[in-house]
Amino acid sequence: MYIYEYDKNLPFNLKVEKEDEKYVLLSFDTVYEPDIPESSRVYVYRYSAENPWMRLIFLHGIGNGHIPYLMWFAENFAQKGIETYFLIQPYHMQRTKQEWNGGEPFFHHSPAHCIVRFHQAIKDVRRTIDLLESGLIQGVSNDLPLGIMGFSFGGMIATMSLALDSRLDIGVLAFTGGDWRWINWYSPYVEPVREGYKKFSNEWGCKDEPKCIELRSSSRRKVHSLKELNDIFTLTPTCFHYDPLSYAKFVKQPVLMFSGVFDKVIPKQASNGLYRLLPNATKITVPSGHKSSYLFRRFIAGKSLKFFKKQAQRIYKKANQNAV
Protein backbone atom coordinates (compact mmCIF):
# COMPACT_ATOMS: atom_id res chain seq x y z
CA MET A 1 0.00 0.00 0.00
CA TYR A 2 1.33 3.41 -0.97
CA ILE A 3 1.46 6.21 1.60
CA TYR A 4 -1.45 8.04 -0.04
CA GLU A 5 -3.81 5.03 0.11
CA TYR A 6 -6.35 4.42 2.87
CA ASP A 7 -9.46 2.36 3.68
CA LYS A 8 -12.46 4.19 2.23
CA ASN A 9 -14.85 1.83 4.00
CA LEU A 10 -14.06 3.17 7.48
CA PRO A 11 -17.05 4.89 9.13
CA PHE A 12 -17.13 8.70 9.24
CA ASN A 13 -18.91 9.01 12.60
CA LEU A 14 -20.08 12.40 11.36
CA LYS A 15 -21.17 15.01 13.90
CA VAL A 16 -22.56 18.52 13.65
CA GLU A 17 -20.44 20.39 16.20
CA LYS A 18 -21.93 23.84 15.78
CA GLU A 19 -24.50 25.70 13.69
CA ASP A 20 -23.94 29.40 13.07
CA GLU A 21 -25.69 31.89 10.79
CA LYS A 22 -22.61 31.80 8.53
CA TYR A 23 -21.57 28.15 8.69
CA VAL A 24 -22.13 24.65 10.04
CA LEU A 25 -19.13 23.03 11.73
CA LEU A 26 -18.83 19.33 10.89
CA SER A 27 -16.42 16.75 12.29
CA PHE A 28 -15.57 13.18 11.35
CA ASP A 29 -12.92 10.56 12.12
CA THR A 30 -9.52 10.51 10.45
CA VAL A 31 -8.42 7.42 8.52
CA TYR A 32 -5.00 7.45 10.21
CA GLU A 33 -3.53 7.56 13.70
CA PRO A 34 -2.35 11.15 14.34
CA ASP A 35 0.49 12.27 16.60
CA ILE A 36 -1.92 13.60 19.21
CA PRO A 37 -5.51 12.63 20.10
CA GLU A 38 -6.73 16.19 19.47
CA SER A 39 -6.15 15.62 15.75
CA SER A 40 -8.12 12.36 15.51
CA ARG A 41 -11.17 14.22 14.19
CA VAL A 42 -11.31 16.29 11.00
CA TYR A 43 -13.12 19.63 11.36
CA VAL A 44 -14.74 21.25 8.34
CA TYR A 45 -16.64 24.55 8.27
CA ARG A 46 -19.43 24.33 5.70
CA TYR A 47 -20.36 27.71 4.21
CA SER A 48 -23.57 27.08 2.29
CA ALA A 49 -24.59 28.87 -0.89
CA GLU A 50 -28.23 29.64 -1.63
CA ASN A 51 -28.12 28.50 -5.25
CA PRO A 52 -24.81 26.64 -5.56
CA TRP A 53 -23.19 26.11 -8.94
CA MET A 54 -19.89 24.72 -7.61
CA ARG A 55 -18.30 23.13 -4.53
CA LEU A 56 -14.91 24.12 -3.11
CA ILE A 57 -12.54 22.70 -0.49
CA PHE A 58 -10.46 25.52 1.02
CA LEU A 59 -7.09 24.87 2.71
CA HIS A 60 -5.30 27.28 5.02
CA GLY A 61 -1.54 27.46 5.63
CA ILE A 62 0.65 26.71 8.64
CA GLY A 63 -0.26 28.42 11.92
CA ASN A 64 -3.52 29.24 13.69
CA GLY A 65 -3.25 33.03 13.52
CA HIS A 66 -4.25 33.58 9.91
CA ILE A 67 -7.13 31.08 9.78
CA PRO A 68 -9.88 33.59 10.79
CA TYR A 69 -8.69 35.95 8.05
CA LEU A 70 -8.81 33.24 5.38
CA MET A 71 -12.33 32.27 6.40
CA TRP A 72 -13.33 35.54 4.74
CA PHE A 73 -12.77 33.78 1.39
CA ALA A 74 -15.11 30.93 2.33
CA GLU A 75 -17.85 33.36 3.35
CA ASN A 76 -17.33 35.47 0.24
CA PHE A 77 -17.39 32.50 -2.15
CA ALA A 78 -20.56 31.13 -0.52
CA GLN A 79 -22.28 34.46 -1.15
CA LYS A 80 -21.33 34.10 -4.82
CA GLY A 81 -22.81 30.61 -5.20
CA ILE A 82 -19.86 28.38 -4.28
CA GLU A 83 -20.58 25.84 -1.54
CA THR A 84 -17.33 26.10 0.41
CA TYR A 85 -15.83 23.61 2.85
CA PHE A 86 -13.07 25.21 4.96
CA LEU A 87 -10.96 22.29 6.17
CA ILE A 88 -8.91 22.65 9.35
CA GLN A 89 -5.56 21.02 8.63
CA PRO A 90 -4.03 18.47 11.02
CA TYR A 91 -2.49 19.92 14.20
CA HIS A 92 -4.33 23.26 13.95
CA MET A 93 -7.13 24.99 15.90
CA GLN A 94 -9.38 22.35 17.51
CA ARG A 95 -6.92 19.71 16.30
CA THR A 96 -3.85 20.89 18.20
CA LYS A 97 -2.51 21.30 21.72
CA GLN A 98 -3.45 24.48 23.52
CA GLU A 99 0.20 25.58 23.87
CA TRP A 100 0.99 25.05 20.16
CA ASN A 101 0.86 27.78 17.52
CA GLY A 102 -0.47 25.30 14.96
CA GLY A 103 1.21 22.89 12.58
CA GLU A 104 4.29 22.06 14.67
CA PRO A 105 4.60 18.41 13.50
CA PHE A 106 5.09 19.62 9.92
CA PHE A 107 8.35 21.39 10.86
CA HIS A 108 10.89 18.59 10.95
CA HIS A 109 14.30 17.77 9.51
CA SER A 110 13.50 14.08 8.83
CA PRO A 111 11.82 13.17 5.52
CA ALA A 112 10.52 9.94 7.09
CA HIS A 113 8.66 12.06 9.65
CA CYS A 114 7.34 14.61 7.15
CA ILE A 115 6.13 12.10 4.56
CA VAL A 116 3.63 10.72 7.06
CA ARG A 117 2.34 14.11 8.28
CA PHE A 118 2.02 15.69 4.83
CA HIS A 119 0.10 12.68 3.57
CA GLN A 120 -2.16 12.84 6.61
CA ALA A 121 -3.22 16.29 5.38
CA ILE A 122 -3.80 14.92 1.86
CA LYS A 123 -5.91 12.09 3.26
CA ASP A 124 -8.08 14.63 5.08
CA VAL A 125 -8.78 16.33 1.75
CA ARG A 126 -9.65 13.08 0.04
CA ARG A 127 -11.75 11.96 2.99
CA THR A 128 -13.69 15.22 2.74
CA ILE A 129 -14.44 14.35 -0.89
CA ASP A 130 -15.57 10.90 0.26
CA LEU A 131 -17.92 12.60 2.71
CA LEU A 132 -19.37 14.83 0.00
CA GLU A 133 -20.03 11.74 -2.12
CA SER A 134 -21.49 9.72 0.76
CA GLY A 135 -24.89 11.40 0.82
CA LEU A 136 -24.50 12.17 4.52
CA ILE A 137 -24.42 15.90 3.79
CA GLN A 138 -27.75 17.08 2.45
CA GLY A 139 -28.52 19.93 0.10
CA VAL A 140 -25.72 19.86 -2.48
CA SER A 141 -25.58 17.79 -5.64
CA ASN A 142 -22.53 15.66 -6.40
CA ASP A 143 -22.98 16.73 -10.01
CA LEU A 144 -21.59 20.17 -9.21
CA PRO A 145 -17.95 20.79 -10.17
CA LEU A 146 -15.53 20.36 -7.27
CA GLY A 147 -12.54 22.63 -6.80
CA ILE A 148 -9.77 23.07 -4.27
CA MET A 149 -8.01 26.26 -3.20
CA GLY A 150 -5.02 26.47 -0.89
CA PHE A 151 -2.84 29.21 0.54
CA SER A 152 0.86 28.64 1.28
CA PHE A 153 1.19 25.20 2.93
CA GLY A 154 -2.44 24.67 1.94
CA GLY A 155 -1.39 25.22 -1.67
CA MET A 156 1.21 22.48 -1.32
CA ILE A 157 -1.39 20.04 -0.02
CA ALA A 158 -3.80 21.17 -2.74
CA THR A 159 -1.18 20.51 -5.45
CA MET A 160 -0.56 16.97 -4.25
CA SER A 161 -4.29 16.33 -3.76
CA LEU A 162 -5.00 17.42 -7.35
CA ALA A 163 -2.40 14.96 -8.61
CA LEU A 164 -3.68 12.12 -6.46
CA ASP A 165 -7.44 12.57 -6.84
CA SER A 166 -9.14 13.10 -10.20
CA ARG A 167 -12.45 13.86 -8.45
CA LEU A 168 -11.10 17.39 -8.07
CA ASP A 169 -11.94 19.38 -11.21
CA ILE A 170 -10.27 22.75 -10.65
CA GLY A 171 -7.44 24.17 -8.53
CA VAL A 172 -6.33 27.56 -7.24
CA LEU A 173 -2.87 27.68 -5.64
CA ALA A 174 -2.05 30.88 -3.77
CA PHE A 175 1.40 31.98 -2.58
CA THR A 176 2.83 28.50 -2.60
CA GLY A 177 5.60 26.53 -4.26
CA GLY A 178 7.73 23.41 -4.37
CA ASP A 179 11.36 22.29 -4.15
CA TRP A 180 12.41 21.92 -0.54
CA ARG A 181 15.92 23.12 -1.34
CA TRP A 182 14.65 26.68 -1.73
CA ILE A 183 12.00 26.59 0.99
CA ASN A 184 13.98 24.84 3.70
CA TRP A 185 17.11 26.94 3.29
CA TYR A 186 15.64 30.36 2.46
CA SER A 187 12.17 30.72 3.95
CA PRO A 188 12.21 32.56 7.30
CA TYR A 189 9.30 30.41 8.50
CA VAL A 190 11.28 27.17 8.56
CA GLU A 191 14.14 28.15 10.84
CA PRO A 192 13.19 25.24 13.17
CA VAL A 193 13.87 22.84 10.30
CA ARG A 194 17.29 24.40 9.63
CA GLU A 195 18.12 24.12 13.32
CA GLY A 196 17.19 20.44 13.16
CA TYR A 197 19.51 19.89 10.19
CA LYS A 198 22.39 21.59 12.00
CA LYS A 199 21.91 19.73 15.28
CA PHE A 200 20.83 16.28 14.12
CA SER A 201 21.22 16.03 10.33
CA ASN A 202 18.77 13.32 9.13
CA GLU A 203 18.61 9.80 7.75
CA TRP A 204 20.06 11.03 4.44
CA GLY A 205 22.95 12.94 5.99
CA CYS A 206 21.54 16.34 5.03
CA LYS A 207 22.95 19.05 7.29
CA ASP A 208 23.38 22.16 5.11
CA GLU A 209 22.42 23.58 1.72
CA PRO A 210 25.46 22.26 -0.21
CA LYS A 211 24.73 18.74 1.00
CA CYS A 212 21.03 19.24 0.17
CA ILE A 213 21.93 20.23 -3.40
CA GLU A 214 24.26 17.25 -3.74
CA LEU A 215 21.68 14.77 -2.47
CA ARG A 216 18.78 16.18 -4.51
CA SER A 217 20.51 16.96 -7.80
CA SER A 218 19.91 13.65 -9.58
CA SER A 219 16.22 13.32 -8.70
CA ARG A 220 15.63 17.03 -9.24
CA ARG A 221 16.55 16.48 -12.89
CA LYS A 222 14.10 13.57 -13.13
CA VAL A 223 10.87 15.14 -11.82
CA HIS A 224 9.84 16.57 -15.21
CA SER A 225 10.23 13.19 -16.94
CA LEU A 226 8.45 10.87 -14.49
CA LYS A 227 6.10 8.53 -16.37
CA GLU A 228 3.69 7.49 -13.64
CA LEU A 229 2.66 9.02 -10.34
CA ASN A 230 4.01 6.10 -8.34
CA ASP A 231 7.45 6.76 -9.86
CA ILE A 232 7.64 9.61 -7.34
CA PHE A 233 8.30 7.03 -4.65
CA THR A 234 11.44 5.79 -6.41
CA LEU A 235 13.10 9.21 -6.02
CA THR A 236 15.79 9.79 -3.43
CA PRO A 237 16.21 11.38 -1.00
CA THR A 238 12.67 10.77 0.18
CA CYS A 239 11.93 14.48 0.69
CA PHE A 240 10.71 14.24 -2.92
CA HIS A 241 7.84 12.05 -1.71
CA TYR A 242 6.12 15.07 -0.13
CA ASP A 243 7.48 17.79 -2.42
CA PRO A 244 4.75 19.44 -4.53
CA LEU A 245 7.34 19.70 -7.29
CA SER A 246 7.28 15.91 -7.73
CA TYR A 247 3.50 15.87 -8.17
CA ALA A 248 3.13 18.94 -10.40
CA LYS A 249 3.30 17.26 -13.81
CA PHE A 250 0.51 14.89 -12.76
CA VAL A 251 -1.91 17.76 -12.09
CA LYS A 252 -4.04 17.58 -15.22
CA GLN A 253 -6.78 19.89 -13.96
CA PRO A 254 -6.80 23.59 -14.90
CA VAL A 255 -5.00 25.62 -12.23
CA LEU A 256 -4.80 29.30 -11.38
CA MET A 257 -1.70 30.24 -9.40
CA PHE A 258 -1.01 33.44 -7.44
CA SER A 259 2.50 34.53 -6.49
CA GLY A 260 3.77 37.55 -4.58
CA VAL A 261 6.49 39.83 -5.94
CA PHE A 262 7.87 40.38 -2.44
CA ASP A 263 7.11 36.95 -0.98
CA LYS A 264 10.02 35.80 1.17
CA VAL A 265 8.18 32.92 2.82
CA ILE A 266 7.85 31.16 -0.53
CA PRO A 267 10.99 32.16 -2.49
CA LYS A 268 10.47 32.92 -6.17
CA GLN A 269 12.56 29.88 -7.15
CA ALA A 270 10.07 27.66 -5.29
CA SER A 271 7.01 29.38 -6.77
CA ASN A 272 8.38 29.51 -10.33
CA GLY A 273 9.67 25.95 -10.15
CA LEU A 274 6.24 24.61 -9.28
CA TYR A 275 4.48 26.74 -11.89
CA ARG A 276 6.78 25.60 -14.70
CA LEU A 277 5.93 21.95 -14.06
CA LEU A 278 2.15 22.40 -13.92
CA PRO A 279 0.89 21.41 -17.40
CA ASN A 280 -2.34 23.45 -17.38
CA ALA A 281 -1.71 26.52 -15.23
CA THR A 282 -2.12 30.29 -15.45
CA LYS A 283 -0.24 32.59 -13.10
CA ILE A 284 -1.16 35.98 -11.68
CA THR A 285 1.54 38.00 -9.93
CA VAL A 286 0.45 40.19 -7.02
CA PRO A 287 2.50 43.21 -5.80
CA SER A 288 2.62 41.89 -2.23
CA GLY A 289 4.58 39.81 0.21
CA HIS A 290 3.27 36.63 1.81
CA LYS A 291 1.20 37.95 4.71
CA SER A 292 0.46 41.26 3.01
CA SER A 293 -1.33 39.33 0.26
CA TYR A 294 -4.38 39.57 2.52
CA LEU A 295 -4.58 43.25 1.59
CA PHE A 296 -5.34 42.03 -1.94
CA ARG A 297 -8.00 39.54 -0.82
CA ARG A 298 -10.77 41.12 -2.91
CA PHE A 299 -8.57 41.06 -6.01
CA ILE A 300 -7.58 37.42 -5.35
CA ALA A 301 -11.18 36.40 -4.66
CA GLY A 302 -12.40 38.18 -7.78
CA LYS A 303 -9.84 36.59 -10.08
CA SER A 304 -10.46 33.18 -8.49
CA LEU A 305 -14.22 33.55 -8.91
CA LYS A 306 -13.81 34.45 -12.58
CA PHE A 307 -11.57 31.42 -13.07
CA PHE A 308 -14.00 29.11 -11.26
CA LYS A 309 -16.91 30.34 -13.39
CA LYS A 310 -14.98 29.82 -16.61
CA GLN A 311 -13.95 26.29 -15.68
CA ALA A 312 -17.38 25.38 -14.31
CA GLN A 313 -18.97 26.52 -17.58
CA ARG A 314 -16.50 24.34 -19.48
CA ILE A 315 -17.41 21.34 -17.31
CA TYR A 316 -21.16 21.94 -17.73
CA LYS A 317 -20.76 22.33 -21.50
CA LYS A 318 -18.82 19.08 -21.76
CA ALA A 319 -21.41 17.25 -19.63
CA ASN A 320 -24.24 18.51 -21.87
CA GLN A 321 -22.39 17.42 -25.01
CA ASN A 322 -21.84 13.95 -23.56
CA ALA A 323 -25.52 13.72 -22.65
CA VAL A 324 -26.63 14.30 -26.25
pTM (whole model) above 0.85: yes
Of residues 203 and 321, which shows the higher confidence score? 203
Instruction: Find all residues with CB under 8 Å of 9, minimum gap 6, and list them.
Output: none
Per-residue pLDDT, 142 = 86
Per-residue pLDDT, 88 = 98
The model's pLDDT over 5-64, given as tens digits with 9 standing for 90+, comes to 999 999 999 999 999 999 999 999 999 999 999 999 999 999 999 999 999 999 999 999
The residues spanned by each domain of the chain are: 15-323
The backbone torsions φ and ψ at residue 201, rounded to the nearest 5 degrees and listed phi first, read 55, -150
Selected from 3.40.1180.10, 3.40.190.80, 3.40.50.1820, 1.10.287.890, the CATH number assigned to the domain covering 15-323 reads: 3.40.50.1820
Distances in Å between the Cα of 170 and the Cα atoms of 63, 244, 256, 297 are 25, 17, 9, 20
Average pLDDT over residues 74-90: 98
Task: Return the percentage of the chain with pLDDT > 90, whole number.
Answer: 95
Amino acid at 144: L
The average confidence (pLDDT) of the chain is 96
Per-residue pLDDT, 141 = 83
Per-residue pLDDT, 318 = 87
The model's pLDDT over 92-146, given as tens digits with 9 standing for 90+, comes to 999 999 999 999 999 999 999 999 999 999 999 999 999 999 999 988 788 999 9
